[in-house]
Amino acid sequence: MTTAHQPLVLEIGQRLSSSEAKAFTDEIKHRMYARWNERIFGGAFMRDLEAGKLPMETIRLFWRHWYSYPVEINNFHLIIYQRHQGFFARHRELLTPYVGKISDELVNPSIPGHIQVLIKQGEAFGVTLDEMVNCEVFPECRALTEFGRGLVYEGSMIEWWARSLNEEMFGHWAKRWRQALLEKYNVKGPDLHYFQVHEEADLHEHEDGLMAHGQVARMVFETLLQDGLTWYRPGWSPEYCCLTNADYVAMFHDGIYKHSREVGHF
């Protein structure tokens, strides 16, 4: 069970010092790591994957439903670039890292960027492009995308960027997928390019100086705290947005696991 914490209190309009912003972000990330470790990495889907017990048909089912999420999230970042342009105009030091992140998604390792790696990874698993594009995504899996969409169109800046702190965790997630497939499923390294690309992009400086995507999100989030751009809707605190995004990732995994068992994959 999740360890109970006192809610992270953030007053509307409150400007935090640099050290206060760092401490606040450290704590919300600490809680985020705990949520991922409990509900995602500790969930049945990832436990079976890392033990080599998850059937390949379940992995293919996952990929058919996973495809639309990265595609849509990349689109959301383009919308955020336009909607938060005034913030980036005031903080030119953040513009290069954020534009670097967006361009990384679209052009590396070659145009059209990570989407092509996503497609090739599915094909390596035996999933056709038609199956990915036309998949009618399970509600439990679609919820992760729709949570992000809601924050783009209705949320405040701090709500979106609190959600985005999860990008770092996708780097750890990609690393664990890659290791499991290498060690337990004997998939060859070149056939795991999607996971390698996202592990590097989300966790490390890459491509001759592009900042890790997780670090970009942290820098923007801390700057919002220092500027006092902390307005959020009642019930939509930064902690809630950050941890609920993790919960939706867990729901995605659990949904695939449940449907896979229902159709007799294992």
Residues 164-200 have pLDDT tens digits of: 999 999 999 999 999 999 999 999 998 999 998 888 8
Confidence check: pLDDT of 1 > 60: no
Look at residue 18 and tell me if it is in a domain.
no
pLDDT digits (tens, 9 = 90+) for 91-147: 999 999 888 888 877 887 778 777 899 999 999 999 999 999 999 999 999 999 999
Look at residue 4 and tell me if it is in a domain.
no
List of residues 6+ apart from 263 with CB closer than 8 A:
none
Distance in angstroms (rounded) separating the CA atoms of residues 162 and 221:
7
What's the mean pLDDT when you consider all of the chain?
93
Give me the amino acid identity at 80. Answer: I
Q: Is the pTM of this model over 0.85?
A: yes
Look at residue 194 and tell me if it is in a domain.
yes
Looking at residue 216, its pLDDT comes to: 93
Domain count, the chain: 1
Query: Does residue 256 contact residue 65 with C-beta atoms inside 8 Å?
Result: yes
Looking at residue 5, its pLDDT comes to: 78
Look at residue 3 and tell me if it is in a domain.
no
Which range of residues forms the domain containing residue 155? 27-39+54-262
Helix %, strand %, coil % for the chain, to 5?
75, 0, 25
List of residues 6+ apart from 180 with CB closer than 8 A:
49, 50, 52
Look at residue 44 and tell me if it is in a domain.
no
- The CATH number linked to 239 is 1.20.910.10
Distance in angstroms (rounded) separating the CA atoms of residues 188 and 181:
8
Confidence check: pLDDT of 264 > 90: no
Look at residue 146 and tell me if it is in a domain.
yes
Look at residue 13 and tell me if it is in a domain.
no
Provide the phi-psi class of 68: left if phi over 0, else alpha when psi is between -120 and 50, else beta: alpha
pLDDT digits (tens, 9 = 90+) for 29-67: 999 999 999 999 999 999 999 999 999 999 999 999 999
